[in-house]
Amino acid sequence: MSHKILGIDIGGTGIKLAIVDTETGKMLTDRIRVATPKPASPEAVVDLISEWVLRLDWKGPIGCGFPSIIKNGVATTATNVDKSWIGLNINTYFSKILNTNCTVINDADAAGLAEMEFGAGKDKKGVVLLLTLGTGIGSALFIDGKLVPNTEMGHLFFKDAIAEKYTSNRTRKIEELNWVDWGNRLNEYLQHIDRLFSPEFLILGGGVSKEFKKYKKYLKTDFPIVPAQQKNAAGVIGAALAARIAIQK
Ligand code: BGC
């Protein structure tokens, strides 16, 4: 089997894709980023992916990260995408329309897989958590390297709403929070996470992980925090990796 897989990270704001060598975790093409269609219905998203599959002349397997709880290929929630995804078996739907083997998993779980295999979490044992800070907050929890899927820590009830409303990167932009104010909010949220899950090592992913130096001094947790090594490419690389794992099963 070829280790090359098309990885796609479907987000509430952007869709990112690249062909990935799942042996090395390296992207073999530039990471392409296009705006998520509005509304982000299954038809609109798959049309856009079809267009890129054609442009890249891609005929191999595809792995997708999707911002929802995914149980055996079926989306059971839809927070930052169109509600019509709920109940859809995305594996079957994409595989049929794109005419190839497609595997979908939660987007943060995908980013976590990539960081554990090739990035900041490599060889880390114990309770390791990855949080993606983007349009929403995604989480991937690992115990001795094994993923506990669909943890949804961005949906913890915190400060009168779900936590992602208080401290996602989107909230930082919408409320025009400076790094001190947003960093302090993130710190409060991480203290809460600590009380509930006692992570031993935390990896921060999403676009804002590139700016880690600007807010790391406000994060006063007992456990170490590092930015994702693959920055916001972790989602694309991990989506491809998830497809490889599913195919090899
Ligand atoms: C969704 C998660 C997703 C996260 C990051 C949340 O709103 O519920 O499934 O992982 O956003 O995209």
Whether 73 and 62 have beta carbons less than 8 Å apart is answered as no
Q: Does 105 have pLDDT greater than 80?
A: yes
Alpha helices, H only, the chain: 42-55, 90-98, 107-118, 163-167, 169-174, 179-197, 212-215, 234-248
Cα–Cα dist 68/83, whole Å: 11
Map residue 180 onto helix, strand or coil.
helix
Ligand 1 midpoint to CA 137 (Å):
6
Token pair listed for 157 = 């009830």
Mutate to test the pocket of ligand 1, among 106, 109, 133, 166 (most ligand atoms within 8 A of CB): 106
pLDDT bucket at 1, cuts 50 / 70 / 90: low
Peptide bond into 61 cis (omega under 30): no
From 64, 66, 68, the mutation candidate for ligand 1 (largest count of ligand atoms within 8 A of CB) is 68
Looking at the domain that runs over 4-110+233-248, which CATH code has it been given?
3.30.420.40
Q: Where are the alpha helices (DSSP H) in 26-161?
A: 42-55, 90-98, 107-118
- Cα–Cα distance, 108 to 249 (Å, whole number): 21
| Gap from CA of 22 to ligand 1 centroid (Å) | 24
**The two domains 4-110+233-248 and 122-228 share their CATH topology (first three levels equal):** yes
Distance CA 138, CA 159 (A): 18
The full length of the chain comes to 249
Q: Which residues pair with 142 in a beta bridge?
A: 128, 147
Q: What pLDDT sits at residue 244? A: 97
Average the pLDDT over 26-35 and give the result: 96
Q: What does the pLDDT average to over 200-226?
A: 96
Going from N- to C-terminal start, the domains of the chain cover: 4-110+233-248, 122-228
pLDDT, averaged across the chain: 96
Closest residue by Cα to atom 5, ligand 1, is: 138
Which phi and psi angles does 8 have, rounded to 5°? -130, 130
Please state the rounded mean pLDDT for residues 195-218: 96
Residue found under tokens 């390297």: 145
Closest ligand 1 atom number to CA of residue 108: 10
User: What integer is the mean pLDDT of 106-110?
Assistant: 98
Residue 55 · residue 97 · CB < 8 Å: no
What's the 79 CA to ligand 1 centre distance in angstroms? 7
Q: Which residues line ligand 1 (CB under 6 A)?
A: 67-69, 77, 79-80, 106-108, 132, 134, 136, 138, 152, 154-155, 164
Kindly report the protein residue whose alpha carbon is nearest to atom 6 of ligand 1.
136
Query: Which conformational region is residue 23 in: left (phi greater than 0), alpha (psi within -120 to 50 degrees), or beta?
Result: alpha
What number of other Cβ atoms are within 10 A of residue 57's Cβ? 6
Mutation to probe ligand 1, out of 164, 169, 232, 236 (largest number of atoms < 8 A from CB)? 164
Q: Residues of the chain with pLDDT > 70: what percent? A: 100
Residue 232: pLDDT band (50, 70, 90) is confident
Q: How confident is the model at residue 88 (pLDDT cuts 50, 70, 90)?
A: very high
Q: How far apart are CA 50 and CA 98, in angstroms?
A: 6
pLDDT digits (tens, 9 = 90+) for 130-187: 999 999 999 999 999 999 999 999 999 999 999 999 999 999 999 999 999 999 999 9
| C-alpha torsion 216→217→223→224, nearest 10 | 50
Closest among 157, 111, 103 to 134, alpha carbons compared: 111
Ligand 1, closest atom to CA 79?
Answer: 7
What homologous superfamily is domain 122-228 in, according to CATH?
ATPase, nucleotide binding domain (3.30.420.40)
Minimum-distance ligand 1 atom for the alpha carbon of 69: 9
Could you tell me the two tokens for 194? Answer: 């600590």
Q: Is the pLDDT of residue 11 over 70?
A: yes
- Closest C-alpha among 220, 238, 200, 198 to residue 124: 200
Q: How far is the CA of 127 from the centre of ligand 1 (A)?
A: 20
pTM of the model: 0.97
